[in-house]
Structure 1
């Protein structure tokens, strides 16, 4: 009796070890994001003023400060990328002169990066898609508002806090999640990700 041998290829094993190119790309994303964070900080008050008709709704703009972690993670696809990128982005923003001060910039960056990182950890760094990226952005938004609540919003009304949490999460999901996934696909089409773990996956979905 002959033995039937499966000819289906086995799934490739994902290498989670950091390479020099991964460190370099993550650092570049982090520094560029930090500069953007700094620029966004300069216009944050005028932007927030557009949403003052509902107390707490200004948090809809906060996703502009959450995207470094999800973007770096989905590009290099290595453990710790989201945390590393968001933290370094916060350091760069503080160095350039954030009006929130050093601690008020770096600590939120650390917490936001941790929130983003935990989503990728929850899927064991095996699932890289729009849904997970969106959840990562939302988690950064949740963490960002949590640290802001502790540092800046003690004594504010329950309504303000609830609206701020909801808007921060929504902003993180859209700006740091959905938009960063779309940006990844655009970058991939240029061939710039050829040496990175994200290249093959994104190309196969194009």
Structure 2
């Protein structure tokens, strides 16, 4: 069992990383702007699932193998970069002209996009390899401790994305026009492409 003080310290340590705009927030803004608050749920669920994937890999030691092998880490980083850039290009192409209606996206596809955006993000994996060891008690089972920290992480990012959902909803009620939606979609695609390029070159 992780001490509550350690959990609080872990949350304080990851808060700046959560607050930094990333792929999850970009997807959230796009889908909530396009389809309302119901579209936020698959984005949040996909992101949270990705966190648990990283936590499970860290507990199994698989992420450590990737992080300690420069070749493996580079492969994962480049796959994530290509995915983000491809998702950004696809998102840009969905910004159709105002008179045309965009087809509704399936909820499961939104979930998968959010999941892959998180799983293929080496920065998310590094959290469980560089930060979590500082808050673990080596004389207790590590799996349960990592699960506790991952759950705290999931709750915090859920609160963060939920808060953004309400902010976006308030904005779209005022600016719910085809031009605004198109601009928001293209802004989202630009963010995704920028994140992918940054991941590829760093």
By relative contact order (CA 8 Å, sep 6+), the higher-ranking structure is: 2
* TM-score, scaled relative to structure 1: 0.35
Higher helix share: 2
Bigger-Rg structure (1/2):
1
